Amino acid sequence: MNPADAALLDEFIDALWLQDGLAKNTLASYRSDLALFAAWLEPRHTPLGAVGETEVNRYFAHLLAQPSPPKPSSQRRLYTVLRRFYHWLLDHGRIGVDPLLNVQSPLPGSRFPKTLSEDKVEALLAAPDVTTPLGLRDRALLELLYATGLRVSELVGLKLFELGLSDRVVRTLGKGAKERLVPIGDIAGEWLERYLREGRPAILGGKVCDEVFVTRRGAGMTRQMAWTLIKKHAAQAGIPRERISPHVLRHAFATHLLNHGADLRVVQLLLGHADISTTQVYTHVAQERLKQLHQRHHPRG
């Protein structure tokens, strides 16, 4: 750490002790967090007082990409100390803009997403018996989840008029009633067309329903039913129960895109995240891609 940053940290920690009377261990943890951040910034020739939002986001992504990423409680402590440090700098006229102004706080109790390897996803997608109408429905549902990264609630809420099969897109309303168009690709599009042609009419048996994914009662599928189906087919594919969550294919969608070189902001748009820091949690499982980038761009890679 350069002497100027070290002096700045000492001054800030002293101010915290005088202002809040924090315990010695707490102050030591705060100083350690800031010192590690300063050490990460040093090879980038960026002092603590010149940090912007980009550096903060990249630092969190760097931490989450480690083999043993920090616990959620440690993430929140880091966010808290960075917030306090830059508020202090702002209040004392040392900086003009708070670099954490638009950086989202890690959620209480947040955990790293459960995800699956590409082989496991293939096994899950192949689990339904597509010789039956219900199996066709389930295969189309799983394919669409993996192809689009839709939330389960978004998927079960899909209406027929929101499908753009000729253009291979779906229109969905996400959180905050924000509409987005998401590509579905040819494979998911073909399974969806087959389900609509062969499976859905047989399931409905003459009943009418606006939702894409339906039950024998002639109604749209619920989130709980979709989750039950995911668990059922995961068990058939030999995937351990602890590796499964309602959004397991959404997580796989994001992780596999990053592994294959997708830009983080593109993934953010596809997932419908309002803030890119929400998307960054997926970077910790994209180890293969990170290693490739290191080998390609680092002088000693």
* pLDDT for residue 109: 47
Rounded (5°) CA angle 155-264-280: 85
Convert the pLDDT of each residue in 193-226 to its tens digit: 999 999 999 999 999 999 999 999 999 999 999 9
Closest CA to 242 of 142, 114, 122: 114
Q: Are residues 208 and 253 in the same domain?
A: yes
Among 11-20, 229-238, 282-291, name the most confident range. Answer: 229-238
Q: Are residues 176 and 284 in the same domain?
A: yes
Q: What is the mean pLDDT of residues 286-292?
A: 52
Q: Are residues 173 and 241 in the same domain?
A: yes
275 pLDDT tier (thresholds 50, 70, 90):
low
Q: Are residues 164 and 232 in the same domain?
A: yes
Domain assignment of residue 108, yes or no: no
Q: Are residues 194 and 256 in the same domain?
A: yes
CA distance 201 to 294: 51
Q: Are residues 133 and 279 in the same domain?
A: yes
Name the token pair of 222. Answer: 């619920």
**CATH number of the domain that residue 47 is part of:** 1.10.150.130
User: Model pTM?
Assistant: 0.58
Domain assignment of residue 295, yes or no: no
Domain assignment of residue 113, yes or no: no
CA distance 284 to 287: 7
Q: What is the mean pLDDT of residues 69-92?
A: 87
Residue 298 has pLDDT above 60, yes or no: no
CA distance 182 to 141: 15
Domain assignment of residue 241, yes or no: yes
CA distance 109 to 73: 7
Residue 157 sits at φ, ψ, to 5 deg, of -85, -5
Q: Are residues 87 and 126 in the same domain?
A: no
Domain assignment of residue 100, yes or no: no
Task: Tell me if 239 sits within 8 A of 116, measured CB to CB.
Answer: yes
Which contacts qualify for 274-279: CB closer than 8 Å, 24 or more apart? 274/175, 274/176, 274/178, 275/102, 275/103, 275/104, 276/57, 277/57, 277/60, 277/103, 277/104, 278/104, 279/254
Residue 301 has pLDDT above 50, yes or no: no
Q: How many CB atoms lie within 10 A of CB 148?
A: 24
Calculate what percentage of the chain has a pLDDT beyond 70.
Answer: 85
CA distance 87 to 160: 50
Q: Residue 17: give the domain boundaries.
A: 3-91
Residue 34 has pLDDT above 80, yes or no: yes
Which contacts qualify for 116-119: CB closer than 8 Å, 24 or more apart? 116/239, 116/243, 116/248, 116/249, 116/251, 116/252, 118/252, 118/256
Convert the pLDDT of each residue in 88-133 to its tens digit: 999 999 999 889 887 777 655 445 566 788 899 999 999 999 999 9
**CATH number of the domain that residue 237 is part of:** 1.10.443.10
Q: Are residues 82 and 207 in the same domain?
A: no
Name the token pair of 199. Answer: 């499976």
Q: Are residues 142 and 206 in the same domain?
A: yes
Closest CA to 193 of 135, 122, 140: 140
Domain assignment of residue 103, yes or no: no
Domain boundary among 91, 108, 142: 91
Domain boundary among 72, 91, 110: 91
Domain assignment of residue 265, yes or no: yes
Q: Are residues 28 and 151 in the same domain?
A: no
Residue 294 has pLDDT above 60, yes or no: no
Q: Are residues 65 and 204 in the same domain?
A: no
Using DSSP's 3-state secondary structure scheme, residue 184 falls into: coil
Which of 91-124 are b and which e, b meaning 16 or more Cβ less than 10 Å from the residue's Cβ? eeeebeeebbeebbebeeeeeebebbeeebbebb
CA distance 247 to 155: 11
Domain assignment of residue 180, yes or no: yes
Residue 121 CA, distance from chain mean position = 17
State the sign of the Cα–Cα–Cα–Cα dihedral 101, 102, 105, 107: positive
Alpha helix positions (H), the chain: 3-20, 24-41, 53-64, 72-91, 118-125, 133-148, 152-156, 185-194, 200-204, 223-236, 248-259, 264-271, 276-279, 287-297
Residue 173 sits at φ, ψ, to 5 deg, of -105, 115
Residue 170 has pLDDT above 70, yes or no: yes
* Residues assigned a catalytic role: 151, 175, 247, 250, 273, 282
Q: Are residues 69 and 173 in the same domain?
A: no
Residue 219 CA, distance from chain mean position = 31
Domain count, the chain: 2
